[in-house]
Amino acid sequence: MTTAPASAPSMPGPLALLRDVRVLAVIGQIVFVLAVLIVIGVLVSNAYSGLAKAGLVPSFSFLNLESSFQIDEGLVSSPHTSSDTFLHAFGVGLVNTLRTVIVGLIGATLLGLFLGIGRLSNNWLLRNLSRSYIEIFQNTPLLVQLIFIYSGLFLRLPDLADITANAPADVRALTGPFWISNKGFAMPALWPTGGVTAWTIAVALGGAAAAVIYLQRRKRRIETGQQTYALQVAALVLIGTLALATLIFGPYTISLPTVIRRSARIVRFDSTLGVIVSPEYVALTLGLILYTAAFIAEVVRAGIQSVPNGQWEAARALGLNGGQTLRLIVLPQALRVMFPPLTNLYSALLKNSALGAYIGFSDLFGVGRTIQLQSGQSIPVTLIVMAIYLFLTLIISYGMNLLNARFQFRTR
């Protein structure tokens, strides 16, 4: 055995740095950033030069130009005409999207709740009916459903000219409370008169009084066990105030929808009277509700099934029947599990509302497409539309997160 002379260990050379994980990580990221920047840079510059060659230099100045198209539905107070700006058109499109999405969310949640509970019902008919509905509406694309509802159902409704065919030929305007046609659904509108402020104050006071009465009576019932008919008395007070206030102040006049007849075949609604809902709007909202409800139903079912069986048994032992158990015990606990998938479904409903453009509804996406064609500015319009959808999705996620936090377990 030879003993080599002991020598001090040499300092690691610069190459050893490359074996350090932290150095590698930093180098890796720098390479990644450079690669991404180069790729994006090439793509963007290609796109820009291509667009410039086609004469479509992106800029945002078009927003103040006059749009040369009009939108038939949207804000009642300021309908979009061809002399309004593109910016106004975007606003109207956004309003239309919100109209659809808000009604769609409420309707889909209610229908989905109903279907999800029915899926677990003891009744064989209800259970299998819910199951068939869910399977059918989950497994067909939304676009097919929308087109079917719109062109297969709503466009087949009777024509206004046919509905009014029996009226005498010289009658130019026909009024009626309800109209169902392929140009839309019309119903009476309520127009506020001078007495509406006083009426609102009276009803608000009555509502506050009813709430106070309800809380007081409920407190007395909980403490003494006496039946004080809290809900009934409060409802009576509220309804009484409503009736009295309406009689005294007369806040609203009814405006009945009217149909104007230019000739035997040219018949259209008078858009200043009554409430006219377009078939596109109803088709889109109905389609969104029916489609999303099928998915919400599955989420509700999963949520209810996640509540332990012991809860049901304990509720039964305490004397609650099925409906009370569901409402007071099971659903609040089920909500905890339901929130994350519900957030996804609500965002999906918002994004699916863009399909309305295919059936002619002037939602944000449809208006964006028209503006693209009119102004030629594809990139800025796309950016605006994407940004608005991102913003709306953020709002939905944020709101649902707040609700979610409220329903979580509070553990010590």
CA 390 to chain centre: 14
The token pair at 185 is 């659904």
Q: Which residues between 313 and 352 bind other proteins (CB under 8 A)?
A: 347, 351-352
For residue 330 the two structure tokens come to: 């099971």
Total Cβ atoms within 10 A of residue 397: 15
* Placement of tokens 């594809």 in the chain: 378
Site string for other proteins, 258-297 (x = CB under 8 A): ----------------------------------------
Site for other proteins in 137-196 (CB under 8 A): 138-145, 147-148, 151-152, 155
CA distances to 205, 273, 322 from 257, rounded to whole Å, are 33, 5, 45
**CB of 257: closest distance to other proteins in angstroms?**
28
The reply to whether 404 sits near other proteins by the rule CB under 8 A is no
Q: Going residue by residue from 348 to 367, which x/- string records binding to other proteins, judged by CB under 8 A?
A: ---xx-xx-xx------x--
232 lines the binding site for other proteins (CB under 8 A): no
Name 331's Cβ contacts closer than 8 Å, sequence gap at least 6. 304
Pick 102 or 386: Cβ nearer other proteins? 386
Give me the DSSP letters along 135-162. Answer: HHHHSS-HHHHHHIIIIIIGGGSPPHHH
Comparing CB distances to other proteins, the nearer of 151 and 306 is 151
In whole angstroms, give the CA distance from residue 214 to residue 70. Answer: 50
Candidates 27-35, 179-187, 188-196, 245-253: pick the segment binding other proteins (CB under 8 A).
Answer: 27-35
**Cα–Cα separations (whole angstroms), residue 275 to 234, 294, 352:** 32, 30, 26
Give the number of residues in contact with other proteins, rule: CB under 8 A. 54
- Write the DSSP symbol of residue 79: -
Shortest distance (Å) from residue 29 CB to other proteins: 5
Residue 119 binds to other proteins (criterion: CB under 8 A): no
User: Which amino acid, residue 47?
Assistant: A
CB atoms within 10 A of CB 150: 22
Neighbouring residues of 225: CB distance < 8 A, sequence distance ≥ 6: none
Among 136, 173, 231, 403, binds other proteins (CB under 8 A): 136
- Restricted to residues 34-93, the positions that interact with other proteins (CB under 8 A) are 36, 43-44, 46-47, 50-51, 53
> Which is closer to other proteins, CB of 133 or CB of 214?
133
| List of residues contacting other proteins (CB under 8 A) | 21-22, 25, 28-29, 32-33, 36, 43-44, 46-47, 50-51, 53, 122-126, 129, 135-136, 138-145, 147-148, 151-152, 155, 347, 351-352, 354-355, 357-358, 365, 369, 378-379, 382, 385-386, 389-390, 393-394
